[in-house]
Amino acid sequence: MNKTALITGASKGIGRELAILFAEKRCNIVLVARSEKELRELKEELRNKHALSTVLMLVKDLSLPDAAQELFDEIKAREIDPDYLVNNAGFGDYGAFADTSWERYEKMIALNVTTLTHLTHLYVRDWCGRKPGRILNISSTAAFQPGPMMAVYFATKAFVLHLSEAIGDELKKNHITVTALCPGPTDTHFGEESKMNASQLVKNVRIAGAAEVALLGYNAMMKGKPVAVHGAMNSLVPFAIRFMPRKWVTRLSAKVMKI
């Protein structure tokens, strides 16, 4: 029997490329995102190219209250039992902390942290003692240091990384793996929507392709690796900053993030 992957934020970028990878492996897929047009196009592409028996699209804003529970209940009602959970939905915003509205931060925290955590909790409790499972949480290289000008986004990704590592250790006995994928700047809609493309960080580094990042994450998930960092230089940063005073790390990050 084919396994099933549930992918949030599936309409664009890394989420879309992950959906294609799962389809190539003959997995049935549940696609979740806000964009109905892009989801529908992806659904038809996967069905036509891979002849999958199940490609379900659910149009949903996961930043809304109770979104995770509603999504979980709807999938249960359709008698779909995912084997893989990919928490890819998320967004960031470039700008000074005081200049961004609380409403924007509230939605960011709800999507990047609350819904991801709730959906993970729902499936972990559903799988424990019944079946193995694999979870891929999309974090970022932003998780390894503070990020002036994107303070809340960096903080949410640190949460995702630490949560993933901690529960991954807890869940080994239940045959459930949790992997945190930490990409650096990637060629997706994120850079434009977050306004991060204006920063020195994006101007001065190689921008990775969404497909190569997705492949790294997929392979790491299937191997049960706790953390996957894309790119040799990106992998050096978490190691190097361990030997620097925290205030130096923050100052360096601020310099890199300036316009």
Residue 232, pLDDT score: 65
Q: What is the largest CA-CA distance in the chain?
A: 54
Greater confidence, 153 or 190?
Answer: 153
**Given this model, what pLDDT does residue 194 score?**
46
HSE at residue 15, side-chain half, CA atoms within 13 A, is 30
Predicted confidence band of residue 4 (pLDDT cuts 50, 70, 90): very high
| Closest CA relative to residue 136, chosen from 160, 172, 112, 111 | 160
Domain 4-257 -> CATH class = alpha beta
Which of 65-74, 236-245, 247-256: highest mean pLDDT?
65-74
Q: Contact 91/62 with Cβ under 8 angstroms?
A: no
Average pLDDT over residues 211-234: 92
- Give pTM, 2 decimals: 0.88
3 is catalytic: no
The domain ranges of the chain are 4-257
**247: confidence class by pLDDT, cuts 50, 70, 90:** confident
Three-class secondary structure of residue 138 per DSSP: strand
218 classed as catalytic: no
> Which DSSP string do the residues of 233-248 spell out, in sequence order?
HHHHHHHHGGGS-HHH
Separation of alpha carbons 228 and 230, rounded Å: 6
CA dist., res. 18 & res. 138, Å (int): 11
For residue 184, pLDDT beyond 50: yes
> How high does pLDDT run on average in the chain?
90
pLDDT at residue 2, as a whole number: 87
What average pLDDT does this structure show over 138-150?
94
Confidence at residue 54, expressed as pLDDT on a 0 to 100 scale: 83
pLDDT band at 53, cuts 50/70/90?
low
Name the percent of the chain lying above pLDDT 70: 85
CA torsion sign for 236, 237, 241, 242 is: negative
pLDDT at 1: 74
Q: Which residues contact 52 (CB under 8 A, 6 or more apart)?
A: 2, 23, 26, 27, 28, 29, 46
Give bridge partners of residue 186 from the DSSP assignment.
208
Is the pLDDT at 192 greater than 90? The verdict is: no
Catalytic residue among 12, 60, 157, 218: 157
Catalytic residue of the set 84, 123, 153, 218:
153
8 Å CB contact between 19 and 215: no
Mean pLDDT in residue range 29-50? 94
